[in-house]
Structure 1
Amino acid sequence: MMSWVQSRYIMKYPVGWMRIGLLALVIIANIVANYEGELAPVVPLLLPDLHLTITNYGFIVAASAVVSAIVAVISGPWIDKYGRTFFVVAGTIVTAIAVFGMCLVHNTTQFIVVRVIMAIILGVSIPATTGLIRDFTPRVGRALGFGLWTFGPVGANYLAAGVAGATLPIFHNSWKSQFIIMGIFCLVVAIIVAFLIRDLSPGLRAQVVHDNTSVANVNHSAQAQNETIASPKLVYGSFHIWALAIGIVLFLLLYFFTQAFGPIYLVTAFKYSPAEASTLASYFWLANLVALVVIGWVSDRLQLRKIFSFIGVIGLLIFMYFWIHLIGHHVSAGTMMVYTSLQGVLLGFGFGPWMALFSENLEDIHPTLQATGWAIWSFVTNVLVAIAGSITFPVAERFGFAAWFDVCWAGVVIYGVLIFVGRGPWFRRKQFK
């Protein structure tokens, strides 16, 4: 394995079209890896066939999230030590097999097995792919790079929702049709990634690249680099890293609700058909993708992260007031499209610049600990998603969906406080040394 990994090392920092190509490979690999969570469009059709209640499905989502959390926190230091490519390639191949495997699922036990396999892959893939995004993007370009990375989790949702909305009527609402379509896509991507993906040499991974003008110095320094890995304890013991990780996950509670339950919520609360719900959900993901890229680009130009995230906090708090008051009222498809799109934009404001902030805070601790740090974020994400997934529908069934959205509102407030813990400028760009 190590011989194969070392054969993929590149010894000079990638620039120009090589950097763009490597980033594109990471993005499409991330779309495949995140297909684990993109069952939402077919959940309204899947649950009756498997004789699952919404509440029990929530517990399965929670259990698979715990698996991802454990795998992520274990795998992070190994990914930093041995590089990213092996884990990315193995993850895309196994995911493609697992997606096809969903077509063979006939009962709850088989469904749980496939979910656990996909959860394991997701737990490894998040630290590996985020590490590669940092490796291939200098700080001037970091928020845009991570905005493109979100084409994995967000793009997979958009792709799944869009494909379901377009093809479910063609295949007579057969949920298995979606896994055949996506399985073919995942397999093609896995083959492309396996042949083309590359990794930075250990010396290059230990460098901090500010912008394109510093690349020559980075290449020279990498050749003389002796220390290519640091102790994970430097990250595990950092209060501000944990605070940033916890804060953003609380901010994204509404995102995770939409990811897991969005279409079924639209079907249940507003009486849309499954195909209509999937189409409306696709507008959320599309708006979120556009916002992440645009806001990331602006954040990079100004080299400011915290103020953009805080704007997202204020905007989402205002939005949630109107979102909660929609419940119980008839909402036309056009109006719902506007609301779901606005929701996606505001979440993009808060999340994209935060990813660059988090990565830069990790680099300031030690450049070689990116995967370890992102493993902490993945661990926190999956633990809180497990808790949220297991209580969402019990809370909604007893107190109504508005009660759950109040929980999401509180999470946004807490994130607004914890963003102050992050190290970085608010209004004046940081000067590079």
Structure 2
Amino acid sequence: MQNHQKHQEHKELQALLDAAKPGDSLILKEGVYEGPVVIDKRIVLRADKPGGVILRNNSSRPALSIQGDGVEVEGLSIQDISVKENATVLVSGQRVILAGLHILTGADGIAIRDAHDGTIKDTVIQWAPKGVRQANKGNGIDLYNAHRWTLTGNEITDVHDGIYMENSDDALVSGNVLRLSRYGVHCMYTKGTVIENNEGDRNVTGAMVMTARQVSVVGNTFTKQSENVNSQGILLYDAHETSVKDNRVDGNRVGLYIEQSTLNKVAGNSVSYNFIGLQLLESDDNEITGNGFVGNVADAQARGSRSNSISGNYWDGFQGIDADGDGSSDISYAINPFFQGLTQKRPPFQLFFQSPGMVFLEGLYGGDSSGWARDSAPLMAPSPESLQSAERSEGDAASALLGLALLGCASLLFFGMRRVVQ
């Protein structure tokens, strides 16, 4: 039977934890408790009033180390604002549950190491120290060799990567809000990760799936990943057998970026008001179908990706012909590789993206298109879902203005260079 104990503030928390027996529940009353503390047995540690219990840590050690199996911690506010290497919360026990925490950190907010089958839910993690470069910040939640974790309903702001998973399989990442970080969700060397119904806003990249297999990226919304030259809504690199479905990707520099990736399915996504809708590089045997590309400055770019199944997408920059009235164009949409090939060899030419001179050169390059990536049956009209998603986009006006400004600058540079040459 669990022993429920209530304790007043200002008592030493570690002494209370040491005195508890396995299976006890410690309910802390409002107050400030000093860290660092270690939990090495199966107990429940809960705030009597959520947010009223503050665990404050001024040491270089983790504010809270959880070494025991089956530990539950709920409702604490943890203040650990010194920049340091050790995480604010370090978990090495199995089947740990963290719920309703509010963490101010100067390190990794929560780090999981060699621990499995845990849960982090309804937790807020924020970077606290001022003036720290993003590259030097810690991650919000950091999993290493930690399998079958459930991460739901968390809000993570202004860290390095919001949720980082490495060598950690079968994680469920659902319903989280990830803002102002490098990558909202980042998985490497993982298998079976599910990334669903999350919201990413103003990160460098919304979701990064890298060197991973059988990942599911479904029903997420990634907006305004556009401040960095390498910004993308969803990025697949060396990703295989992965499903990217029913996401809304609006107002990013690149909506969907796929490189050196195979056997993936990209379907039903709404990709709108991005600078580039789709970039497909050195990737084959992928299925790309039923997506809507609306309001992007450029619908698509491709290079070295001729063996994909691309069909039934809507590209609003493409003018097709539907003689038989089946809703699909009788002529295919070929993705011109000229710009990608040119900028691969001469990166400074990116300045001339969509300039009149570059468009003209792309037209000249269009003689032999047999090896180009192409949509074999592009849709003549977007799906209702794509239209509704595009109408909901908050960044459409800003993205259009940005595109016009870039086009104008590129045009001036192009014609200025022509005059110099002459």
Q: What TM-score do the two structures reach when normalised by structure 1? A: 0.23
Greater C-alpha Rg: 2
Q: Which has the higher contact order (CA 8 A, sep 6+)?
A: 1
- Give the structure with the larger strand fraction: 2
Q: What TM-score do the two structures reach when normalised by structure 2? A: 0.23
